[in-house]
Structure 1
């Protein structure tokens, strides 16, 4: 017998279901942003007042959390859904993310119209240019290089890789939610996972925008933790087990906007049609730099180096963990300090790159530690499900900065929605989600010693297939072309 997680809070069942106005409208047919009335059921009372109860609570307002809310509203249109985000809002933020065919299929599984809107905000690369640390051209290798065959990819697989700025992704997903679903300035301080069928998950939440810092008590039939690689939910519920490990590297990023392309640094003009990569020794390289366009006169540069380069430059390597910064999870310096540290490490790179670094506004520069989950140690449900809590995205599997982190987070959300669609808001749905995600995570990220890339990744990305959510109609773009054609 399935254990209903939503039924863990019996008082919520009797409340009038006035939570999402118009939620029975197909997401493909209705507007991307709808007004709604969100009514929280008073399930119990504590020292700080009434407990707010929601059928689904998502911790974290990044792309994974926002799409999780869209997904759950699609499969459970009368459910109450709340996203808790610690940050005060969504300022311009983030570099570019390459949304690949597995990410597009996951997005189409959730909402065809939303996927197409996001695609329209992207940018297509033409070719990738590789150089060594001296600036000498290199032949395409196992990591990157060569032309981007977009037409061939669309013809063979239905999708191609599209570069989209992280902030544009987040904004598009936010616009797809009813007003009031996302609660900003909501910092989760404590989490109790509850027990399926008996007790809901309970969260203590402080409101940064309230003068006295009042604490809200929130309960959830299902709690979806999408609060990043320093997930407070994971640390609270799993006691610190399974957190990502430092790879002893640093990452610097910046977004550069130029008003007149003719006045742009030489390197930006060179990178106008696709990425330029400078690769150091090793596999993966111990030091590398990338510059790529985002469209609309925007460019991104990313520099990655082992901590040993900072030590050689006389710079400290102590990490500042940003576990309580919501979507703003920095783990290193920012601004002028971050820029100067990056220049200290990459000052011997080709002059064109160094010129770009020097001309970058320091306020746009961020530094992060390089963390990753030990994929080989993952076993499934015990790592991602506990009580009424389920992990998605970086909270479940922190990835190297290889572009698949976001794509796999989108996959997580599509699969979680399908499991709830098939099995209801139950512990069985969460366990089914974990069982389905484990082999995908291994295929995309498990890399044998000495291998330049995970050997199963290309086939896993091409073969990604997801069940459409909601009543339809559906475009078929959530499946490989052959499977979509067979379903017609």
Structure 2
């Protein structure tokens, strides 16, 4: 196959696709809006699952490099009541199927596995349009453009490629996360560090939660969840002190070692509104273009998003390699499996969202976790 693949988005899914294509001798270029690999922080930890993320990395020939990134002991988890008492706890004995790594380190591993020049930085897509015969033009904000016979949208929730295939747009799920970090927590925030434990901690109640995980270097990375309209968050004054205080009042009466993840943060709070695409999002086959990751199947956080994106990338790369000279056969085969896979995971994510934040929280989730032991 000699068709050059144009990938929009240098996230984990787009980079996995580029790596698998490279291994099969298929040329590809990744266009990324960010100015460089270091332009912004790449988020916290990811648990890489044995059913999708890990097979994707094996397909990319990076299993050994991935193992070198794993943070031992971080698969431990605990559920706390709002008063700080422990409701559920599971240690990390090293046999779990979801080892934790830092997202930024995983992305750097993928970037380093690609030939120099594969990723073009500072290439923010302004628009994409069809030219006929399976060809598309991608126009960038800097005034340049490219024409391609195979375009892959790996550009996330607000994909500029998706409109070529679908009218679907992300919808707010009614809840937002506020992201914070406590640094050097064992020394500077010992009570909170003890509450979080060695891995992940979640304290849930109907419509709200304080969740955190322990990263490398003693950092506690928290996601404070609250069910409120977007306008409520826009009006409370985040990221300023007044907004932090207003958010903390929503957790009045909770244990101070938990609310410290809001009030004592060492980084400015970052608002993360949650959006979703329709659970059974799909499209009719359009020649020369497809999607992967959140561009294809955005869903509420479930731990599967990054794993699915990498798996999509690996599967698309494998399909293109298996159908040399026949792009449409490859894309048809890829999407035949993509649609039911995305729909099933979206349904699971919706159920998990209800267990975590619904009227029965946290009891339904704890019963589910206890049943898996």
* TM-score, normalised relative to structure 1: 0.65
Q: Structure 1 pair 449/296, CA: closer, same or farther in 2 (3 Å)? A: closer
The residue that corresponds to 1:441 in the other structure is 342
Say which of 240, 251, 257 aligns to 1:346: 251
CA contact (8 A) 1:133 1:350 kept: yes
- Matched residue SS, 1:180: coil
SS of residue in 2 equivalent to 1:232:
coil
Which residue, out of 170, 182, 189, partners 1:256? 182
| Offset at residue 401 of structure 1 (A) | 1.2
2:67 is the counterpart of 1:119: yes
What CA distance in whole angstroms lies between the structure 1 residues aligned with 2:283 and 2:84? 47
Structure 1: stretches of 5+ with no match in the other structure: 7-54, 154-159, 208-214, 319-331, 459-488
1:172-224 deviation line (CA, Å, top 9, x unaligned): 211111111111111111212344xx3522111133xxxxxxx1120122111
Q: Are positions 1:298 and 2:219 aligned together?
A: yes
2:224 and 2:262 in contact (8 A); partners too? no
Whole-angstrom CA distance in 1 between matches of 2:288 and 2:75? 46
Alignment of 1:220-231 (within 5 A): 220-231=148-159
Q: Select the residue among 135, 147, 152 that pairs with 1:219.
A: 147
CA distance in structure 2 between the aligned counterparts of 1:337 and 1:204, rounded to whole angstroms: 41
Q: CA deviation at 1:340?
A: 4.9
Aligned counterpart, 2:10? 61
Does the 8 Å CA contact 1:225/1:234 hold for their aligned counterparts?
yes
2:275 aligned with 1:371:
yes
Match of 2:136 in 1: 201
Deviations 1:17-75 (A, max 9, x none): xxxxxxxxxxxxxxxxxxxxxxxxxxxxxxxxxxxxxx111111111111121121122
Give how far 1:5 is off. Answer: 9.3
Partner of 1:163: 100
Q: Is the 8 A contact 2:214 2:220 kept in 1?
A: yes
Of 60, 64, 81, 2:28 maps to: 81
Equivalent in the alignment of 1:480: none
User: Pick from 195, 205, 217: which aligns with 1:280?
Assistant: 205
Work out which of the two has the higher radius of gyration on C-alpha atoms and give 1 or 2. 1
Unaligned runs of 5+ in 2: 357-367, 369-373
CA distance in 2 between counterparts of 1:185 and 1:337 reads 35
How far is 1:334 from its partner?
A: 5.1
Q: Which runs of structure 2 are paired with 1:322-361 in the superposition (5 Å)?
A: 339-340=244-245, 342-361=247-266
Q: Give the drift of 1:225.
A: 0.4
